[in-house]
Amino acid sequence: MISVNQPLITKQEINNVRKALSNGWFSSSGPQIIEFENRFKNFLKKKYCVLVSSGTAALEIAVKSLELDKSSEIIIPNFTIISNASAVIKNNLKIIPIDCNPITWNMNINYIQNSVTKNTKAIIATHIYGYPLEMDKIKNICKKKKIILIEDSAEMIGHSYMGKKCGSFGDIGVFSFYANKHITMGEGGALVTDNKILYEKFKDLRNLSFGRINRFNHENLSWNYRITNIQAAFGLPQLKRIKKIIKKKKNIGKKYYALLKNNKNIYIQKPKLGKLENIYWVIGILLKKGIKREKITAFLKKKGIETRPFFWPMSQQKVFKKMNFKFKKNFKISEDISKRGFYLPSGLGISDNEIRYVCKNLNSVLK
């Protein structure tokens, strides 16, 4: 089976983990955590960085650190991972989903302005799949409306927009180091900011809000969202070669695009769209209307090719229906592409022969 994500693990990762273990640093403190945080913040040109246990944890901490009133609304994409929504809901705030752009699959910036109310306090701007969001436009909206910007760059680690690193535009930037990300620690996440007050809150909220005078007299209700030094040790060599990783991801995407672009039964994103460059975190495929996705993915599975369906929209989530959430707007684009889209194997460990094999079989079943 050609897995949808095959990580590329080198001797550097293994040796660095061994070094951490041999030095006795394996828990939630240690020199590798500090080194990773310092290197990561410098890479993004931010003042502060805090490592946590996952990207979801980073989102939850980001939202809680704002200490918003319960009447507050936070704008999120409708087409995204559920972590964006759950981070808001767990903090007793209201989500305001935005439909996506049919070409980029990112939240449609034109819809943001009309969704802002007096209760809108923040936007979670999430880069989806390949193209970065036009962060300059979103940042301008936030500045005019005095809205806090949380930039979710879980899928964009190392990528840039207009010469600036994704994840560095927002008041808060959040990242994930899950197995399928450009830098993986198996699990893991990070928050970055230039705000020292927020930075101190991040550290507090990831660590059970232990008391400063009496450790076990806690100052807040928070979580154990710590990361281990072993994970940081595993991620460090990848951070050091991040430019090579991004170059390889883009090349994988370009190879797929060259082999699939002429198939009239699918839509695959171009390597470039105006000023947007595609990082190809995943190789997203959108089937022509009328073609059954399940039939195509079942065929590929028989050929030893693993796939994943697109994100399911927030407006159609079972859990939110059970909670009697009412979504007043319609989300035609995200609800449509969620049914027709899936992505192909694109991990850093994939070979050129495997890419050709995947494309050959996909083209054969979609003649």
Per-residue model confidence (pLDDT) at position 221: 85
Residue 113 CB partners (closer than 8 Å, separation 6+): 141
Residue 220 CB partners (closer than 8 Å, separation 6+): 204, 205, 209
Q: Helices H, strands E: what count in the chain? A: 13, 15
Q: Which amino acid is at 50?
A: V
pTM for this predicted structure: 0.96
Looking at every residue in the chain, the average pLDDT score rounds to 95
Per-residue model confidence (pLDDT) at position 27: 83
- The residue-averaged pLDDT of 331-349 equals 96
Q: Do domains 11-240 and 243-365 have the same CATH topology?
A: no
Coil, strand or helix: which one is 7? coil
Please write the tens of the pLDDT for every residue from 147-193.
999 999 999 999 999 999 999 999 999 999 999 999 999 999 999 99
Q: In this model, does residue 211 exceed pLDDT 90?
A: no
Please write the tens of the pLDDT for every residue from 222-256.
899 999 999 999 999 999 999 999 999 999 999 99
DSSP 131: S
341/360 Cα distance (integer angstroms): 19
Architecture of the domain whose range is 243-365: Alpha-Beta Complex (3.90)
Q: Are strands 189-193 and 172-176 parallel, antiparallel or unpaired?
A: antiparallel
Please write the tens of the pLDDT for every residue from 275-292.
999 999 999 999 999 999
Q: In this model, does residue 7 exceed pLDDT 90?
A: no
73/92 Cα distance (integer angstroms): 10
186/182 Cα distance (integer angstroms): 11
Contact 141, 122 (CB under 8 A): no
Q: Are strands 266-268 and 283-287 parallel, antiparallel or unpaired?
A: antiparallel
For residue 227, the tally of other CB atoms under 10 A from its CB is 25
Contact 295, 307 (CB under 8 A): no
DSSP 187: S
Domain boundaries, the chain: 11-240, 243-365
Domain 11-240's class? alpha beta
Q: Which amino acid is at 11?
A: K
Please write the tens of the pLDDT for every residue from 47-87.
999 999 999 999 999 999 999 999 999 999 999 999 999 99
Q: In this model, does residue 43 exceed pLDDT 90?
A: yes
Phi then psi for residue 62, to 5 deg, are -60, -45
